[in-house]
Structure 1
Amino acid sequence: MSKQTELNELIERYIAVWNETDAPRRRALIAQVFTEDADFLDPLTHAYGHDGIDAMIAAMQQRFPAHRVSRHGDIDAFQDRVRFAWRLAPVDADAPDAMRAQGTDFGVVADGRLCKLTGFFDPMPEAPVQKKHGWSVDSFAAFWAKPNPALVPRALAPDVVGYWPGSEPVRGVDAYTQRIAELIAMVPDFRLEVAEHAANGDCVFIRWIARGSLDDAPFEFTGVDRVRVRDGLVAENRIFCDHPLIQVLAASHSRQRAAV
């Protein structure tokens, strides 16, 4: 078998990973496609190893259950580097909640498997919900009823700062978006309900109720966001919550930063 044929089969298995919804079969494919210490990075998430990549893909499948990833165009490669384009599209082209996206991935191959992969969106994913840019309590509630990290940047000021309990401030649109993506990847069914809110000058206080499940155990807890708004965009957000899940998220983020 030629090297190009082996590479084509590797990328086809990579695409198959994104479309495999049976968890054991997906894990088996991941082991075939990625090295144990594989590093996956795109504008919305940063995943490490087989566990992290599996959680990331499972979260995507739950968010877009009637969609499929496909490769299009040729595979470019030299030495241990590979480049290929992909598309995300609904199985039913007329689906009302269809998400369509496309982009290019750049990978590094080691011993026949991907050890590093970096993805770029072209254009960034968009969804029919919340097409209007900006932030409001209503958009906050709509987002957390059906969270999608691709929608986060449109609500943020370029110099946004986020304060999560137990971790260093998150600065800038990319870092802020990544933190939201990490939470959703960790808890794919995480949802927030707005219980009450009040405004004082340029600050909005939102008391919310969080629900979801972690390690198959359901949870429910409350917290408060203090959102400072500038020109219709979030300039600062301080989260007040002492639930252990927030500490787990902070610890996970710290481990990922240390591994970079």
Structure 2
Amino acid sequence: MDKVQQLADRYVAVWNETDDERRRQAIADLWAPEGEHYVGTQEVRGYAALEKRIVDSHTKWVRNGGYRFRAAKDIRALHDVVTFHWEMVPRNGENIAAIGLEFLVVDKENRILTDYQFPL
């Protein structure tokens, strides 16, 4: 289960990443080349679209909003599906401002094929 928790921790870290090159590399490490991400009405596919989605979120919530994301320690895995909750907290605090559920479909190398994000 440690390997799966590491996936969740790496996943939320990419949303907090401030360095463009490290973020780009983390996206390539986490997702398959044609990986998909769905949240609300947004649908993105592939590294360039994933990068834009993550940068937009980072700009709004991390850079300008003063928040950071972290993975809750409730990760579960079954075959090719991984689920966990994420929390958005103030950069220098612990009060939870928002939570969400991630539902990931992964390949045999634990790279994300499909990412369904459900803000709660």
When the two structures are superposed, what TM-score results if normalisation uses the length of structure 2?
0.87
Deviations 1:58-100 (A, max 9, x none): 111111212101111311111011110001122145xxxxx92
Q: Which has the larger radius of gyration?
A: 1
Aligned sequence identity (%):
29
Give 3-state SS (helix, strand or coil) of 2:18's partner. Answer: coil
Unmatched runs of 5 consecutive residues or more in structure 2: none
AA at the equivalent of 1:46? E
Provide runs of 4+ in structure 1 moved above 2 Å: none
- What is the rounded CA distance, in whole Å, between the counterparts of 2:55 and 2:24 in structure 1? 10
Alignment length, in residue pairs?
114
- Going from structure 1 to structure 2, the CA distance change for 1:100 and 1:44 (only over 3 Å counts) comes to farther
Give 3-state SS (helix, strand or coil) of 2:74's partner. Answer: strand
- Answer 1 or 2: higher relative contact order, Cα 8 Å, separation at least 6: 2
Give 3-state SS (helix, strand or coil) of 2:75's partner. Answer: strand
CA contact (8 A) 2:5 2:73 kept: no
- What is the rounded CA distance, in whole Å, between the counterparts of 2:40 and 2:58 in structure 1? 18
Counterpart mapping for 1:17-36 below 5 A: 17-36=14-33
Give 3-state SS (helix, strand or coil) of 1:21's partner. Answer: coil
Aligned CA-pair RMSD: 1.6
Deviations 1:4-35 (A, max 9, x none): 23222222111110110100000111111100
Partner of 1:118: 116
Give 3-state SS (helix, strand or coil) of 1:74's partner. Answer: coil
Counterpart mapping for 1:41-190 below 5 A: 41-64=38-61, 65=63, 66-93=66-93, 100-110=97-107, 111-122=109-120
AA at the equivalent of 1:48? R
Deviations 1:111-166 (A, max 9, x none): 221110101111xxxxxxxxxxxxxxxxxxxxxxxxxxxxxxxxxxxxxxxxxxxx
Unmatched runs of 5 consecutive residues or more in structure 1: 94-98, 123-260
Partner of 1:125: none
When the two structures are superposed, what TM-score results if normalisation uses the length of structure 1?
0.42
Counterpart mapping for 1:193-204 below 5 A: none
